[in-house]
Structure 1
Amino acid sequence: MSKSQLSVLECDRILTAPGSVLEMEERILHGRKVRTWKHCPPTFRSYFLESCTKYTSRTFLSSPVEPSGRQEWTFGQVVEESLKLAGWMKSRGLGIGSRIAIGGGNSAGWIIAFVAVHLIGGIAVALNAWLPLDSLVYCLELTKPALVLVDARLAELLDPAVLTLRRKGMGESLSAKMSCSPEQLRQIKDGTSLDDLNPESDAIIFFTSGTGGRPKAVLSTQRMALTNLWSGLVAPIRAALRAGVTPPPMPKPTDPQKIVLLAVPLFHVTGCLSWLMRAFFTGNKMIMMSRWSIHEAVSLIQSQKVTVIGGVPAIVSEILESPALDKNYSFETVFYGGAPPSRELANEVKRRWPKTGLVQGYGMTETNAYVCSVAGADYVLRPDTTGPAVPVCDVRIADPRTGRALPPGSPGLLMVHGPQVMKGYYNDPKATSKVIDQDGWLDTGDIAVLDHEGFIYIKDRAKDIIIRGGENIASSDVENALYAHPGVLEAAAISVPDKRLGEKVGAIVSVRSDWTGRVTEESLLEDVKSRLGKPAWPSIILISNDPLPHNVNGKVVKRDLRPMLVEAWEKRKRVDAGRLRSKL
C-alpha cells in the first residue's frame, strides 16, 4: 500500500459514515450483537414492491420458453403475475411463515413464484433442481412445505414420490397456472394480515451439502438474506476510494440499463441473492439461461448485447476462451464467486478486456453469499485474495484444534460473525450447534490466512467438499455411490484440478479380493451414473488391488492419495491432448 493510499479501514469509515447509504447500526439479533446495514430493505415484500414500482415499464427478463424460444417480461408484468399467484396462495390459507417450495430451472415462472411467496410473507424453499429424485424427496421430507410449485420437468421427476410425500406431511404439488379474485388481489397489494412481517421473520431456505452427504436446509430471516444486497455494494466503492477516484453513484431509474447474463441457477445463493436481488436494485435486464452452454451463452451475449457476465469462475473462463465471441466485444463488469478461481483469471480478464470492472467475492450458503469481496487494482495485484470482510462482518482465523485466535499470516479456520450468518439448519439443531457457537461465530470449514491489511486468502477446505463450477459436491455422496458396487471395498472421492471448472470429481477405490481384475473404471462410471447427479460423476477413477492408507482412527488418509490421483489426472489430460493434436 502506498503512503497516499487509503487503508481498508479508512475506506470503510468513509463508506459507512452517518447519513451514507451504507451506514451501520448495532443491534442484538437472535442473541447476537451485530452491526447491520441501517438502510437495508426490511423485507423482501417491501423491496420487491418498491423496485417494481420504480422500474415498472423496464424490461426485466428475457426468459427461455420451451422448446427454443424466449419471452420478455417487464418489472411491472412480473409483479402483477406475482400478485395474482400470491392472492391464490392466500386464499388457500397460506401466509407469514408458510413454507412454499419452488423447483425448476431458471425461468420467469421461478421468479414469479419466488416474489409471490414473499408477497404473503412466506418462506421460500429453493429446491436444487439438479438433485436426483432421492435427494429431492429427502429435502421435501425435511422441510414439509405446505405447497410445492415446480416446472414440468421436476413435476414429472417427482410424480412417483408425491403420494408418499403427502402422507409424510408435504402439501400439494402443482405446476399449473393459478388465479385469484379481485378482492384477494387487493388484500395482497394492501398487505392485509401482514402487520407481523418484519426483518426478523423467517424468509428463505437454501440447500447445501455437508460432509455427511445429506443436503442441509439453511434457514435465514429477511434481514440475514437481504444483508447481501448492501454488502454487494462495498467492493466497487472500496476500489474507487483506494484508487483515489469518486465512487460510483447509487443507481437511478434514468440510468442506462445494464444487460446481465444470468447463467447460474436461481436455487443457489449466488444466483438468487447476488444476481436476482441486485437486478431489482439496479433495474438490470436479465438474460436467463436454463442450463449452462457456452454456445448458447455467446449467442445470447452478442444478440442481446450483454454488458455484465459472471457467476462462477468457470463461466468467465469459458467465455474468455470461446473463439465464437467477437474479439472486439467487451463488457462493462465481470463478477464471480461461488468457487475458487485460478490465480491467473483476474489478469486474463484484464488483458482481454482492460476497461472492464472486475469483482470477486467469497461466501457460502450459510452466510447468504458475501463474507468478503474485492475489486479493481486490489484484486489484480492480489489474485489469490478474496478481499477484506464487508464492514458488517467480523472474521478471525482460529486454530482448528484449540479455537484460539491466530495472528495475521497464520493459516487456520476462517470464522465468521455478522448479520448475514444463517439462523440455523432447519429442523437440525445438532448440526447447527456444530458450526455456530454460543456467541454466533460460524465455522466456515475453510482454511484461510488473514494478512496485516485485512485481506483474506482461502488456502484449503477443512470440509471434504468438492466444488465443481460452483456446485458443492459432498465426497461422501460419491463414495457411497461407489460403495454400492459389490466389488468395491473402499472408496475415496478427491478433487482434481480443472482450469475451466476449478475442480472436478476424482476417486480411488480398492477392490475386494474376489473381484480382482473384474472391476473397471468404465463399469464403475456406468454404475454410479444412476445414483448421482451429473455434476458429481467422477472424471477419473483409479482402481487399486491394495488397501487404501488409514490413520490411527481408521479413516482413509486422503492427503496421501491426492498426489497419486492428481498425477494420473494430469497424465491423462496430456495423453488426451496429444491424441487430439495427432488427429489434427
Structure 2
Amino acid sequence: MPPKPTIRECDRIITSPGMVLEMEEKVMDGRRVRVWKNLPPSFRSFILPSFEAYSDRVFLSSAVWRTGQESRAAPREHVTFGEVLRRAAELAAWMRIQGLGVGSRIAIGGRNCTGWIVSFVACQLIGAVSVCLNAWLHKDQLLHCLSITSPHLVLVDAERAIVLGPSVPGLQAVGVGQVISWDPLPASFESLSSIRSVGEVLESSELDTRSILQGPDLRDLSPESDAVIFFSSGTSGLPKAVLSTQRMALSNLFSGMVAPARAALRAGLTIPPLPKPSDPQRTVLLAIPLFHVTGCLSWLMRAIFAGSKIVLLPRWNIDQAVKLIETENVTVIGGVPSVVSAILQAPGLPKSKAFDTVFYGGAPPSRELAREVKARWPKAGLVQGYGLTETNAYVCSVAGGDYVERPESTGPPVPICDVKIVSPASREELPTGETGLLMVRGPQVMKCYYNNPEETSFAIDSDGWLDTGDVGYTDKEGFLYIKDRLKDIIVRGGENIMSADIENALYADPRIGEAVAIGIPDNILGERVGAIVSLRTIENHIPKATETDLIYTVSSKLGRRAVPEIILIWHGPLPRNANGKVVKKDLKSYVVEAWETRQKGSHLGVHVKSKL
C-alpha cells in the first residue's frame, strides 16, 4: 500500500495549474498574497449562473410569518431557485429606482426565512453591501449597529419592524435610510406608520428586472469592492461591524472544498467532482442564523453552488429540527458542535435515520464528538472547520480519516491562508508544538471594522496578521489545535489551565451532554476551577449524577490543579446565543455566585434549573 500523501503534497496537487483550486499571487494593501485564481469576481457573477442552472429545483423550505403566530406553528412555503431570483430581481429593480447601486449599504435584519435570502440576493445583484444585522440583539444593540453603519436602506421582517418602528424617525435623523418590511405588516401597530412593506413599494413601481439581470452600470464592481458587513457576536461589549470585500467573503466558497479534497487524496481516492445539475439534490437543515458568516458564507453559498434544498429553521429548536429532518428528508446537518450533539442525543430522531454529511465549526467540539458521529452515522462524510467573523469563516478545515484520528484538531490552514503561534506578551513566534496566541493572515481576512480604525489597528498589525484571540498550537504536520480563548484561560496559582482540557475530561463521562469550564476569581490563587454541565438523555431517561461523583470521575483524567472544585448540574440545555454558542459570561456569574454562597456556609443544591 503506497504511503499516505502529506498535506503539503495534497495541496500541491489540488492547487496545481488547471485545477479549480489553482492559486495565484496578488498585491493587496501593498502585500503579496495567495488567492484563488478561479474564484468568481463577485457574488453576482457566482449567484446568477447557479440560480439559472437550478431554476426549477426547490431551493427553500421556510416558515411563513403570520401575526401573533409562533414560528414553530407557522405554515411552510417551498420556493424554487427561479422564484427566489424573480423576487430578488424585482426588489433589486426597485432599489435601483431609489438610486442604490455598487457600494450602497443595505441592512438586512430578520429570522431565517425566504425574505432574508431574497433581500441578500437582491443586494448582490446591484453590487450593494449587505449589512447583516444580528436579529436577536436587543433594541439598543440593533440601533447601535444601524448607527455605526448608516445603511441607505433597511430591510427587515415584521418582528424587527415592530421593534424598530418607534425609532425610525430618530434613525432617519442621523442618516439611516427608509425601513421596509418584507413581511406584511399588522395594521394594529401605530408605530409602523413610517414603515412600508416590500409588496406595497413594488406594486407602486414600474420595475425593469431585465436590466437588473443583464447588469448594466456595474463596471465599478470588482473583487476588491465592498460586499458584506457582519457583526461580531457582541457577547462582551457592543458588536463591531466587520467589513469585507467581494474577494474576502467569497474566498470561503473555494476554501470549503479543501478538506474533502485532502481527505480523498489521503485515502487514496480521487478528488470529489464539482456539483452539476444532473446530480441528485441534497437537503440541508440550516440550523444557524443567516446573519452569521457560517450560516451565510458557508451554508447558504454552498447550497447555491450545489443546487441543494435548504430547510430553514427560524430559530434553533431541537424538537422542531427533528420534525423537519423527518418531514423534509434532510440529508446534511451541522452548524456549531452543540447543534450536532443535540441531534445525536435527541430521543425523537429514529435510529434508522442517516445523513450524507455532518459539518460543524464555530466553536471547539469535544474530542468525543467525532467518534460519536461516526458510530451513529458511519457512512456520513465528516467535516470540521475553524474560522472567525473577521476571517469570513474558513481558516482551517479537516475531514475524513484525518479528523477521526485527530479529533481535537481543526485541521491545517487552507492553502491561501498563513497561521502562526506567538507569545501573547512579546508577539514572538513560538516553536512547533508550543501553545500560544493564534495569528492569521490571508485574502479572506476582513478589510476593517467599519468606522472603527482604532479597533482595526488593534486587531490587524502592519504586516496583515489578525489577532484571533484564540490560544492553540500546531503539530509537525501543520494541524492546528485550538485550546481556548485567551480571555477564558483559567490562571490558578500562576498556572495556565485550558478550559478545553477540563471540558474534554468531563465529556469523557457518557452521562455528560454539555460541559463548560469556568474560572472563579480568588484572592489567593487568582482563580479556582469550576464547571457547569448538563446531562444527556440516554434511552429516554436522564442518568443519575451527583457533584461528588462527577468530581471523582473527572479527577482521574486531569492534573490535581485542573480538577473543578465545584460542578453545577443544569436542568435542560445550557443557554446559548443566536449562533448556538454557550453564553459563558452568564454561566460564569451563576457559578461564581454559587461558589461564594458556599464559602459563606450556605448549602446550594447541585441540580439547578435553567432560569437564564
Alignment match, 2:63: 64
Q: For 2:592 and 2:609, how far apart are their aligned partners in 1?
A: 17
Match of 1:148 among 154, 160, 165: 154
* Amino acid in structure 2 at the alignment position of 1:97: G
* Amino acid in structure 1 at the alignment position of 2:349: L
Partner deviation per Cα, 1:17-55 (whole Å, 9 max, x = no partner): 100000000001122321000111110111111110111
* Amino acid in structure 2 at the alignment position of 1:383: P
* Amino acid in structure 2 at the alignment position of 1:301: I
Alignment match, 1:40: 39
Match of 1:372 among 388, 396, 399: 396
2:102 matches 1:96: yes
Match of 2:116 among 105, 110, 131: 110
Partner deviation per Cα, 1:411-462 (whole Å, 9 max, x = no partner): 1111111010000100001100001011111110111101100000001111
Q: For 2:286 and 2:235, how far apart are their aligned partners in 1?
A: 29
List, as ranges, runs of 4+ consecutive aligned residues in structure 1 with deviation greater than 6 Å. 465-468, 544-547
Structure 1 segment 539-554 matched on structure 2, within 5 A: 539=587, 540-543=590-593
Secondary structure, aligned partner of 2:359:
strand
Match of 2:586 among 532, 535, 538: 538
Q: Deviation at 1:535?
A: 7.2
Match of 1:320 among 344, 348, 351: 344
Residues 98 and 145, structure 1, Cα contact 8 Å, conserved in 2: yes
Residues 166/534 of structure 1: CA separation in 2 closer, same or farther (3 Å cut): farther
2:428 matches 1:404: yes
Residues 336 and 581, structure 2, Cα contact 8 Å, conserved in 1: no
Q: Which sections of structure 2, spanning at least 5 residues, go unmatched?
A: 182-196, 490-498, 504-517, 522-526, 537-579
Alignment match, 1:572: 606
Residues 31/42 of structure 1: CA separation in 2 closer, same or farther (3 Å cut): same
* Amino acid in structure 2 at the alignment position of 1:572: V
Q: For 2:595 and 2:84, how far apart are their aligned partners in 1?
A: 59
Residues 532 and 591, structure 2, Cα contact 8 Å, conserved in 1: no
Residues 393 and 416, structure 1, Cα contact 8 Å, conserved in 2: yes
Q: For 2:299 and 2:95, how far apart are their aligned partners in 1?
A: 26
Match of 2:445 among 403, 421, 426: 421
Q: For 1:101 and 1:15, how far apart are their aligned partners in 2?
A: 37
Residue identity (%): 57
Q: Which sections of structure 1, spanning at least 5 residues, go unmatched?
A: 469-474, 480-491, 502-532, 548-560, 578-584
Residues 400/500 of structure 1: CA separation in 2 closer, same or farther (3 Å cut): farther
Partner deviation per Cα, 1:482-528 (whole Å, 9 max, x = no partner): xxxxxxxxxx9x99555699xxxxxxxxxxxxxxxxxxxxxxxxxxx
* Amino acid in structure 2 at the alignment position of 1:405: E
Alignment match, 1:31: 30
Alignment match, 1:195: 219
Q: For 2:222 and 2:595, how far apart are their aligned partners in 1?
A: 60
* Amino acid in structure 1 at the alignment position of 2:75: G
Alignment match, 2:314: 290
Secondary structure, aligned partner of 1:36:
strand
2:367 matches 1:343: yes
Alignment match, 2:51: 52
Residues 382/161 of structure 1: CA separation in 2 closer, same or farther (3 Å cut): same
2:304 matches 1:274: no
Residues 62 and 287, structure 1, Cα contact 8 Å, conserved in 2: yes
Indicate the larger mover: 2-11 or 136-145: 2-11
Residues 174/247 of structure 1: CA separation in 2 closer, same or farther (3 Å cut): same
Q: Deviation at 1:109?
A: 0.3
Alignment match, 2:548: none
Structure 1 segment 198-209 matched on structure 2, within 5 A: 198-209=222-233
Residues 211 and 464, structure 1, Cα contact 8 Å, conserved in 2: no
* Amino acid in structure 2 at the alignment position of 1:420: Q
Q: For 1:408 and 1:342, how far apart are their aligned partners in 2?
A: 23
Indicate the larger mover: 97-106 or 457-466: 457-466
Partner deviation per Cα, 1:219-265 (whole Å, 9 max, x = no partner): 00000000000000011110011111122111111000001001100
Q: Which has the higher contact order (CA 8 A, sep 6+)?
A: 1
Alignment match, 2:454: 430
2:85 matches 1:79: yes
Alignment match, 2:134: 128
Alignment match, 2:163: 157
Structure 1 segment 486-565 matched on structure 2, within 5 A: 496=531, 498=533, 536=583, 538-539=586-587, 540-543=590-593
Residues 324/124 of structure 1: CA separation in 2 closer, same or farther (3 Å cut): same
Q: For 2:365 and 2:581, how far apart are their aligned partners in 1?
A: 22
Q: For 1:170 and 1:495, how far apart are their aligned partners in 2?
A: 45
Alignment match, 1:173: 179
Partner deviation per Cα, 1:83-133 (whole Å, 9 max, x = no partner): 000000110011111110000000000000000011111100000001001
Residues 530 and 591, structure 2, Cα contact 8 Å, conserved in 1: no
Q: Deviation at 1:166?
A: 1.3
Question: What is the Cα-based RMSD across aligned positions, in Å?
Answer: 3.1
Residues 411 and 449, structure 1, Cα contact 8 Å, conserved in 2: yes
Alignment match, 1:518: none
Q: Deviation at 1:541?
A: 4.8
Q: For 2:202 and 2:352, how far apart are their aligned partners in 1?
A: 48
Q: For 2:44 and 2:76, how far apart are their aligned partners in 1?
A: 27
Residues 211 and 463, structure 1, Cα contact 8 Å, conserved in 2: no
